[in-house]
Amino acid sequence: MNKKGPLYAFFLSLVLLLPGCSSLAVLNPKGPAARTLSDTIILSILVMLGVLAVVYILFVFVLVKYRAKKSNEGYIPPHEEGNKWLEAIWIIIPIIIVAFLSVVTVKTTSEVENVAAEYKDQKPLVIYASSSNWKWHFSYPEEGIETVNYVNIPVHRAVEFRMYSFGTITSLWIPQLAGQKYAMSDMLTTLHLSADTEGSYIGKNANFSGKGFAHMEFEALVMSSNGYDEWVKEVKETAEPLTEDAFKELLAIEHIGRKTYSSTHLTFSPPPMDHSEMDGEEINHENMHHDNGSKEHQENEHIHPSPEPSSDTEFNGEPEPELDQPLPSSPVEEHTHNSSN
Amino acid sequence: MDLERFKVHGEPLIYGAMISIALATIGIIVGLTYFKKWGYLWREWLTTVDHKRIGVMYILAALLMLFRGGIDAMMMRLQTAAPEMKFLDAQHYNEVFTTHGLIMILFMAMPFIIGLMNVIIPLQIGARDVAFPRLNAVSFWLFFFGAMLLNISFVIGGSPDAGWSAYFPLASLEFSPTVGNNYYSLALQISGIGTLITGVNFIVTILKMRAPGMTLMKMPMFTWSVLITNIIIVFAFPVLTVALALMMFDRLFGSQFFTMANGGMDMLWANLFWVWGHPEVYIVILPAFGIYSEIIATFSKKNLYGYTSMVFSMLIISLLSFLVWTHHFYTMGQGVMVNSFFSITTMAIAVPTGVKIFNWLFTLRKGRITFNTPMLYTLAFIPIFTIGGVTGVMLAMASADYQYHNTMFLVAHFHYVLIPGAVFAVIAGFHYWFPKVFGFRLNDRLGRHAFWWIAISFNVTFFPLFFLGLMGMTRRTYTYSAETGYGPLNMLSFAGAIGLSIGFLLLVYNIYWSTRYMPKDKTGDPWDGRTLEWATGSPIPAYNFAVVPNVKTRDAFWSAKQDNIPLFEEKITKIHMPSNTGKPFILGVIFFFFGFSLVFSLWIPAILSGIGILIVMATMSFDRDHGFYIPAEEVIATEKKLRGETV
């Protein structure tokens, strides 16, 4: 019996079916990063289908041929120790498959962790995305505006999200534009994405963060360049600025709809260990809090009490660097200085 | 003292649970009194140090926990079956999925596997008991009372609600101010100590107590898998011990190891948890692989293909299992280099796993395959688990994982490896070794019915979740809106879950029906087995083997039957046995109160029970009871009775 015919038909039909997967957001990318990931996923599905085919065919064959039936009543199975050649085959071929997928992984991971190739010459649009229970704050330092629970970005533009959290670990995820990344309270993480089609895309928090977790969806609206500039202008003209008190109140609210402000919270509540705006010489460690957690967190210590650190021990949080020496480099700084690593 | 903390409010379900627990407890107490079984319970079960009885207790506890975890699962599937269901609110859903994960992994899969280890390993290696029988009992009671502590949280104080992985800062006092996550750190800690002791116990047992002639490479494959698993336990569990201790200090004593303030690192918790957590899933799956090896060989009437490769593949899997933990949080911002390294190590595990699958297929080839209940679960494992395995390779690719992480795709993957992997294995092992322990087989027709319900329903429940993940549905969400379009597939999944419940109910019914109606097996070898455990009588005498067997080949019992190679050549002499002791049970009880006191920060009771623990441990250390001897005449008489001769 020709077993290969049906097999080819099966594979072909899969390949033809897969483009019909547009109801699956992850396989319906609208930006280069998501496209790279979608292609990677489809490639891995095809390879794994091949593996499954081999196993299933052997499995069915063996069960059908060697099942106990009346006709083989007295059959005594032979004693078989094994076979070196078979072992070699089923070790080497999987190693080749794993090696191939490893190369694909390294290549695509590196691709999505950097600015997309087609936008490499642009200066990315930096947006700070921070989470508090249970909402997202998007601060646009260049434009000087801030939104809550929605983010607008221009099409065909590299966007660099710098993420952190005012509390629990959350994960910024806009499936049709890029993979996700965690936002944490003691460091800044970076997510590169860009969109090549205008439209409205769902964003969510993908990391469980407590009671209100299921309601942390936000909209990512991709607008034309002009539309984006006009929107920014409109916000600066019509929205209220974000005062420190208003921000403190905002943080305390559990669920809120969309809000828009004509200034950001970054000035009075800087992100954790954010050195990106400063040159090396300007960093004066004595003036910086090295308590982990954002400045807002530290200033609200009456809500989050922590024990008094004892003064003047070698475990004192303030480092005392020699100012004429080069700065020690820490992994945190690599995230903020070298967003393209 | 603030009594409010102890109460759990508002839900009819919780009041229902409180009432059922109270009724069940009263029912048990009344029943034991009416049938005058308190003495029996104490003498034969609560104080036993016999590995077979301890194993049975582990498995019984696991079955009860399977029931509880299954109800959690049904509640979760019901709540998410349609958009905006109002069955469970967010807080209770969060408690339910947290306890579902904790119970299924730590209080169902682990005890089931450890129970099977306990019953079978000494028999398979031709030994009379494990190396440390009293510590074995301690292991069981610590597990049991740790599990009880977690179970009581539902009705007193509130269950943990930060996920079974309890990430900080969510699980810190700041964001989880109720006692729920205190239960987490203490219940897991107490059970974990029991498991660590088991690890030591079984390594020593397997290395030092094998019957003469049984070299390492002549051991049954289940024994090999258990040896390697216990080595993983000994290396992995201390990490959990430390992590839970630091968590307890953070939550109870104000330290800042994982908190947001003062230098605490939430990422440190994630790393410590998964350095334990990943080897943990291999602790659960490797014995399963061992069980499958035994069953495939037995029911294809053929020796295991590629014995040496099978051993080495498990060794490599166990080594690699310590090198992959970061794949649980590729999205935590480590960057390309770190993620690439862990992608490669994670995918590498597929190679030795594939070796095992092919060796099983080639064991079946040229065999003569019977399709009874244990064999059906074992055979179904191969195609279904492989789906879990290949989706694991897909998840291992860090870039792709940025889209799969924490979605239902991940949930589908791990259920596809855990259920066909570990759960089918323990069910298969349960059916396979049941007649050895209880002297009669479970009914095969009922068993096959239950199998088909379970195997098919499993796929209906979990395959849709792959698609839901690709549609963008994250895990741990208590509800979703209709516009997302997640409704239909979730409803399909719920239908599957109902089928799974039916299957498991049939399985339990089979136990009852078979106990009443199945004929007794007098041979001790109902399946024409290959390994030494089938060489004992039925029921198994307390001393296992009247005479220690002399092993000359692999599949020693099979060779003895086929090639007339005698197994038992020595004369019967008196046999040294360990005495029963109530101290492990008492230690467990005190640990329960110790844990409970710490959960509620009741310092005086905690200190007092802490002192109690030390006292019991001291009495155990200085225990002068060296056991007793069964005289040779009694052994001879027992053996005669087992063979059906008149005494």
From the list B302, B382, B467, which residue is nearest A24 (CB)? Answer: B467
- Residue in chain A closest to B313 (alpha carbons) equals A91
| Contact flag A208-B394 (C-beta cutoff 8 Å) | no
In a domain, A323, yes or no: no
Residue with tokens 């060697």: A66
A173 and A245 belong to one structural domain: yes
Can you give the three-state secondary structure of B68-116, one letter per residue?
A: HHHHHHHHHHHHCCCCCCCCCCHHHHHHHHHHHHHHHHHHHHHHHHHHH
Backbone angles phi, psi at B160, to 5 degrees: -60, 150
Backbone angles phi, psi at A170, to 5 degrees: -125, 175
pLDDT above 90 for A325: no
In a domain, A238, yes or no: yes
In a domain, A322, yes or no: no
Q: Residue B567 has what pLDDT?
A: 82
In a domain, A285, yes or no: no
Q: How confident is the model at residue A303 (pLDDT cuts 50, 70, 90)?
A: very low
Name every chain A residue with its beta carbon within 8 A of the beta carbon of B350.
94, 98
Residues 6 or more apart whose CB falls under 8 angstroms from that of B488 comprise none
Domain boundary among A233, A261, A289: A261
Give B61-82 pLDDT, tens digit per residue. Answer: 999 999 999 999 999 999 999 9
Give B230-268 pLDDT, tens digit per residue. Answer: 999 999 999 999 999 999 999 999 999 999 888 889 999
Residue with tokens 């019977």: B370
| Contact flag A80-B303 (C-beta cutoff 8 Å) | yes
Mean pLDDT check: name the lowest of A284-293, B129-138, B452-461.
Answer: A284-293
| Contact flag A63-B364 (C-beta cutoff 8 Å) | yes
Summarize the confidence of residues A84-110 as an average pLDDT.
Answer: 96
Q: Across chain B, what does the average pLDDT equal?
A: 94
From the list A79, A112, A317, which residue is nearest B402 (CB)? Answer: A112
Mean pLDDT check: name the lowest of A46-55, A96-105, B14-23.
Answer: B14-23
Residue with tokens 């891995």: A44
**Residues B200, A84: Cα–Cα separation, whole Å:** 35
From the list A26, A45, A58, which residue is nearest B472 (CB)? Answer: A26
In contact, B206 and B123? CB cutoff 8 Å:
no
A156 and A213 belong to one structural domain: yes
Predicted complex ipTM: 0.93
- Residue in chain A closest to B364 (alpha carbons) equals A62
CA-CA-CA-CA torsion sign (B429, B434, B436, B442) = negative
pLDDT above 80 for B304: yes
From the list A62, A298, A309, which residue is nearest B361 (CB)? Answer: A62
In a domain, A188, yes or no: yes
CA distance B412 to chain A (A): 15
Q: Residue A320 has what pLDDT?
A: 52
B365 is written with which tokens? 């080839």
pLDDT above 70 for B277: yes
In contact, A171 and B270? CB cutoff 8 Å:
no
Q: Does A42 touch chain B (CB under 8 A)?
A: no
Give B135-148 pLDDT, tens digit per residue. Answer: 999 999 999 999 99
Summarize the confidence of residues A49-58 as an average pLDDT.
Answer: 97
Q: How confident is the model at residue A54 (pLDDT cuts 50, 70, 90)?
A: very high
Kind and range of the H or E element at A309?
none
| Contact flag B474-A205 (C-beta cutoff 8 Å) | yes
CA distance A229 to chain B (A): 30
CB-count burial class (<10 Å; 0-12, 13-18, 19+) for B218? middle
pLDDT above 70 for B156: yes
pLDDT above 50 for B607: yes
Q: Find the distance separating the first CA and the last CA of chain B, reported in whole Å.
A: 66
Residue-range domain boundaries for chain B: 1-277
Q: Residue A173 has what pLDDT?
A: 97
CA distance A154 to chain B (A): 23
| Contact flag B362-A80 (C-beta cutoff 8 Å) | yes
DSSP B277-343: HHHHHHHHHHHHHHHHHHHHHHHTTSPPTTHHHHHHHHHHHHHHTTS-GGGGGGGGS--HHHHHHHH
- Residue in chain B closest to A106 (alpha carbons) equals B340
Tell me whether the omega of the peptide bond preceding residue B141 falls within 30 degrees of 0, making it cis: no
| Contact flag A66-B367 (C-beta cutoff 8 Å) | yes
Kind and range of the H or E element at A259?
strand A259-261
Mean pLDDT check: name the lowest of A85-89, B520-524, B606-610.
Answer: B520-524
Give B204-222 pLDDT, tens digit per residue. Answer: 999 999 999 999 999 999 9
In contact, B139 and B195? CB cutoff 8 Å:
yes
Domain boundary among A241, A261, A281: A261
In a domain, A325, yes or no: no
Domain boundary among A261, A291, A306: A261
Q: Domain limits at A42?
A: 24-60+85-113
B479 is written with which tokens? 């509800």
Residues 6 or more apart whose CB falls under 8 angstroms from that of B351 comprise A91, A94, A95, A98, B316
Q: How confident is the model at residue A314 (pLDDT cuts 50, 70, 90)?
A: very low
User: Could you give the percent of chain A with pLDDT greater than 90?
Assistant: 67
Q: Please calculate the CA angle B530-B318-A101 and round it to the nearest 5 degrees.
A: 115
A256 and A125 belong to one structural domain: yes
Q: Residue A274 has what pLDDT?
A: 55
Domain count, chain A: 2
A228 and A165 belong to one structural domain: yes
**Residues B179, A161: Cα–Cα separation, whole Å:** 36
Interface test with B, best of A61, A98, A113 (most B CBs within 10 A): A98
Give A192-204 pLDDT, tens digit per residue. Answer: 999 999 999 999 9
Tell me whether the omega of the peptide bond preceding residue A78 falls within 30 degrees of 0, making it cis: no
pTM for this prediction: 0.89
CA distance B257 to chain A (A): 12
A152 and A91 belong to one structural domain: no
pLDDT above 60 for B181: yes
In a domain, A330, yes or no: no
Q: Please calculate the CA angle B592-B596-B600 and round it to the nearest 5 degrees.
A: 170
Summarize the confidence of residues A107-126 as an average pLDDT.
Answer: 92
**Residues B226, B59: Cα–Cα separation, whole Å:** 16
From the list B339, B344, B365, which residue is nearest A66 (CB)? Answer: B365
The Cβ of residue B338 has, within 10 Å, a number of other Cβ atoms equal to 15
Interface test with A, best of B260, B329, B409 (most A CBs within 10 A): B260
User: A336 vs B476, which has greater pLDDT?
Assistant: B476
| Contact flag A105-B369 (C-beta cutoff 8 Å) | no
pLDDT above 90 for A293: no
| Contact flag B335-A341 (C-beta cutoff 8 Å) | yes
Q: What is the CATH number of domain B1-277?
A: 1.20.210.10
Q: Does A100 touch chain B (CB under 8 A)?
A: no
A158 and A192 belong to one structural domain: yes
Q: How confident is the model at residue B569 (pLDDT cuts 50, 70, 90)?
A: confident
Chain B neighbours among A 296-335 (CB < 8 Å)? 297-298, 301, 304, 306-307, 309, 317, 334-335
In this structure, what CATH number is given to the domain that contains residue A154?
2.60.40.420
- Residue in chain A closest to B385 (alpha carbons) equals A52
A105 and A178 belong to one structural domain: no
From the list B351, B393, B476, which residue is nearest A208 (CB)? Answer: B476
Q: Please calculate the CA angle B68-B69-B73 and round it to the nearest 5 degrees.
A: 120
In a domain, A218, yes or no: yes
A144 and A255 belong to one structural domain: yes
